Amino acid sequence: MNSLVHDSQGRLKAAPTFEVQAAVTFKRVKTLGLALPGVEVATRYDGSPVLKQGGAFMAGLTTHASAEPGSLVVRVSVEEREWLLNEAPETYYVTDYHQPHPVVLVRLSRIDRDALRELLSMAWRQTQPKARPPRKQQRGAHLPSSSNATGSIPAGSTRGRRTPGSRARP
């Protein structure tokens, strides 16, 4: 059953669902994240929004049952995570599920804009080595065709390659 809240005119209305609240909250995360170079918004397999850099996960709304609703999971180093947990345990936390991974959970209702911007910058720096470089196609370059007109090794040939079960020659 939906809970009721008063709107700005004092009328009762249904409280926003978690999904609506999460979308509004992620809007702030998205705005700050997209200000960083190479960051893009994507959708995770479960439909929740995430920030990625070069295809690598950077931050996203957590949907795991062990996390508190309205939490963001953010890639950080283990050292940064320990520092955040010690400095502001009311804002940052980690669950047993997330412990083995280089991430920290953030209670979005407890973090201000400047702290979120700095946290996303930390995540950006941590994600950078994992990000794929942008693909550049040289002018006039074409993908290899399926024809063998270029003298390439025919499809299915094992010339110059070891196949499973083959032995290296002395």
Tens digits of residue pLDDT in 30-53: 999 999 999 999 999 888 899 999
Tens digits of residue pLDDT in 110-159: 999 999 999 999 999 999 888 777 666 555 555 544 444 444 444 554 55
- In the predicted model, is pLDDT for residue 77 greater than 90? yes
The pTM (predicted TM-score) of the whole model is: 0.65
Tens digits of residue pLDDT in 87-102: 999 999 999 999 999 9
88 with 42: CB under 8 angstroms?
no
34 with 41: CB under 8 angstroms?
yes
Side-chain half-sphere exposure of 46, counting CA atoms within 13 A: 9
- Least Cα distance to 71 among 3, 35, 18, 113 occurs for 18
Per-residue pLDDT band for 6 (boundaries 50, 70, 90) equals low
- Cα separation of 54 and 57, whole Å? 9
Domains of the chain: 13-130 (3.90.1150.30)
Indicate the range of 10-14, 15-19, 37-41 predicted with least confidence: 15-19
- Residue type for 94, please? V
Q: Pull the structure tokens for residue 5.
A: 């809240």
- What's the farthest any 2 CA atoms get from each other in the chain? 86
